[in-house]
Amino acid sequence: GNSVTQMEGPVTLSEEAFLTINCTYTATGYPSLFWYVQYPGEGLQLLLKATKADDKGSNKGFEATYRKETTSFHLEKGSVQVSDSAVYFCALSDTGNTPLVFGKGTRLSVIA
Amino acid sequence: GAVVSQHPSRVICKSGTSVKIECRSLDFQATTMFWYRQFPKQSLMLMATSNEGSKATYEQGVEKDKFLINHASLTLSTLTVTSAHPEDSSFYICSARDKTGQGEKLFFGSGTQLSVL
């Protein structure tokens, strides 16, 4: 079955540091890949997505590239801010009427 | 953009009572909605898939008599936690898939924090 493996957290970084959160997946088909973010006290929000190999999703300075050869979708940001502190979830969705499969989430804390 | 409205955002109830959570797609029709539960420090767990006009499909281990799901229209699905107990305290999230099915359009509600005393 489909699965998502996400690096364990928590991750603590200083402001302006470089961020990488690793995500790898297993899927039988050609899924769409997502990063969701959950800010404290709020629900999930879609951060970015990629629907096919070599696509790069980007938003708010974050980006992730769909790598079919390594089955990965690592999240990166060049310079994090305190306001980026949140829990980040990697997810995939097969085509068709299937729900998302989520990773366990990675908590990011950015300190000033 | 498309919006999924989920209410209430937070509810506190006494043990033994029932709580209804609504999930509405505001500007699109959703033939399919999904209900997730989020445990502390864990990922979202899919509880059930709700299809308009038919019975929900529950994931293994989810009690269908306890978590009643009704998807009566193309814009509304409800989750009712019946006879709630403290162990049901959790964060519940719905998501809705755009009926057009063009590309990947899946939208999330803002979640409901349920606390059972």
Of B42, B46, B109, the CB nearest to A99: B46
Q: How far apart are CA A66 and CA B54, in angstroms?
A: 35
Q: How confident is the model at residue B100 (pLDDT cuts 50, 70, 90)?
A: low
CB contact under 8 A, A97 and B97: yes
**Of residues B38 and B23, which shows the higher confidence score?**
B23
Q: Is B102 on the interface with A (CB under 8 A)?
A: no
Q: Is the pLDDT of residue B96 over 90?
A: no
Query: What pLDDT digit, counting tens, does each position of A52-84 carry?
Result: 899 999 999 999 999 999 999 999 999 999 999
Q: How far apart are CA A12 and CA A93, in angstroms?
A: 29
Please state the rounded mean pLDDT for residues B60-83. Answer: 93
Among A29, A92, A100, A98, smallest CA distance to A64 is for A92
Q: How confident is the model at residue B104 (pLDDT cuts 50, 70, 90)?
A: very low
Determine the Cα angle at A36 with ends B93 and A4, to 5°: 95
Query: What backbone torsions phi and psi does residue A83 show, to the nearest 5 degrees?
Result: -70, -10
